[in-house]
Amino acid sequence: MERSEHGNRLDTNSDYLFQLLCFLKLHTYTRVQVSIDICGVDYPSRKRRFEVIYNLLSTRYNSRIRVQISADEVTRISPVVSLFPSAGRWEREVWDMFGVSSINHPDLRRISTDYGFEGHPLRKDLPLSGYVEVRYDDPEKRVVSEPIEMTQEFRYFDFASPWEQRSDG
């Protein structure tokens, strides 16, 4: 399924992702040799809640294309690292931030979250300040993680309404 506008987008099935990207990379008329970005989006209302988005660039034809694939928590995406070597870090990022893992990925570790972190930060159900984020030095002389304590409750600003918002409704 394509969409042509001032930015091209191609929605696809997860079975043929690797084949599709391989075709896009190698075919003479779609020489897409550069992968700019791989990111994910969380739509919690959908059944397959995540969408993994591959932003690609063709330097030969000076055009960009975006390939989107929908996935849920247990779907495993085929890694495109063999096609686009820069995708290694992006796939690790998608795994870390969303929990969408890859089959036979050469190196799937966490990147950009802390070492003992549980959970996947960019999912919509993890709150903005997290659960166990307060860390401070102890008499034990190390950094510990405790359940979060906030001095001020989370303020919600409703910018849609022009009237002054009161904190307790």
Partner 1 sequence: MFLRAISRPLMAKVKQTTGIVGLDVVPNAKEVLISLYSKTLNEIQAVPPDEGYRKAVESFTKHRLKVCQEEEDWEAIEKRLGCGQVEELIEEARDELKLIEKMIEWDPWGVPDDYECEVIENDAPVPKHVPLHRPGPLPEEFYLTVGKLQLNSKGGTGESKAE
Give me the residues that bind partner 1 (CB under 8 A), please.
1-6, 10, 12-13, 16, 19-20, 22-23, 25-29, 31, 60-64
Select 4 or 167, whichever has its Cβ closest to partner 1.
Answer: 4
Shortest CB 13 distance to partner 1, Å? 8
User: Alpha carbon 118 to chain centroid distance?
Assistant: 16
Amino acid at 65: I
DSSP type of residue 146:
E
Beta-bridge mates of residue 57: 34, 64
Say how many residues make up the chain: 169
CB of 29 to partner 1, least distance (A): 6
**CB of residue 39 to partner 1, shortest distance in Å:** 20
* Beta carbon nearer to partner 1, 15 or 107: 15
Bridge partners of 52, per DSSP, are: 40, 69
